Chain A
Amino acid sequence: AQTIHQWPVAEIKAVGSPLSLGCTIKGKSSPNLYWYWQATGGTLQQLFYSITVGQVESVVQLNLSASRPKDDQFILSTEKLLLSHSGFYLCAWGDWGYEQYFGPGTRLTVL
């Protein structure tokens, strides 16, 4: 069975500080990987997707970047956090069907 793990579970960071969030998928070879952002009480906004190692496509610009250093790992980062980055970050995987499988998420608070 496939499992998806996100780290950290929660972060409290200062405006202007750097950020790195991670996601690992086990039990699935060459998955499509996705990052989403969700404001409190809001909908999910797709940020990035990756079809293969080393290749990442940006869907929306939020002063964030993503990388896929390994087949099973997806990283979301920024060098300088903004207040508007606060929210819930979700990693998801899919194959060539339409369903996406979401991880447990990381709650980010920027102060």
Chain B
Amino acid sequence: SQWGEENLQALSIQEGEDVTMNCSYKTYTTVVQWYRQKSGKGPAQLILIRSNEREKRSGRLRATLDTSSQSSSLSITGTLATDTAVYFCATSSGSWQLIFGSGTQLTVMP
């Protein structure tokens, strides 16, 4: 799993497999967002889950949030080679603030 002080995690899977990435956070957060960053590009938001939600789905993505353990997960079903990227979780206690985790490098091999 990722957080700020940890090194970038790495996962390598075959196209078509499902994958789950985990994130733990240390301070109170209003929302958890998951961002994807492709090589050499800026990150883009994938999904946002609020502190009063336990699960959120968007297409092949599923995010969960457990505020009691201060952890979140992002699952991708039926991965594609184009899902290869670094995935970050990010927390916010105010609308201007965004604290990113250490990230997970996902490589999906065709």
Contact B43 A102 (CB under 8 A): yes
Q: A98-B33, A98-B48, A99-B48 are in contact. Are A44 and B96 (CB under 8 A)?
A: no
Contact B98 A46 (CB under 8 A): yes
Interface residues on B, range: 20 to 34
Contact of B42 among A32, A98, A104 (CB under 8 A): A104
- For chain A, what secondary structure do more than half of its interface residues adopt (helix, strand, loop), or is it mixed? strand
Q: How far is the CA of A105 from the CA of B31 in the complex (A)?
A: 25
What distance in Å separates the Cβ of B20 from its nearest Cβ neighbour in chain A?
Answer: 20
Q: Could you jot down 22 A-B contacts, CB within 8 Å?
A: A32-B95, A34-B96, A41-B8, A42-B102, A42-B103, A43-B88, A43-B102, A43-B103, A44-B88, A45-B100, A46-B97, A94-B95, A96-B95, A98-B31, A98-B33, A98-B92, A101-B45, A102-B43, A103-B42, A105-B40, A105-B42, A107-B40
Measured CB to CB, the residues of B under 8 A from A are 4, 8, 30-31, 33, 40-45, 48, 88, 92, 95-103
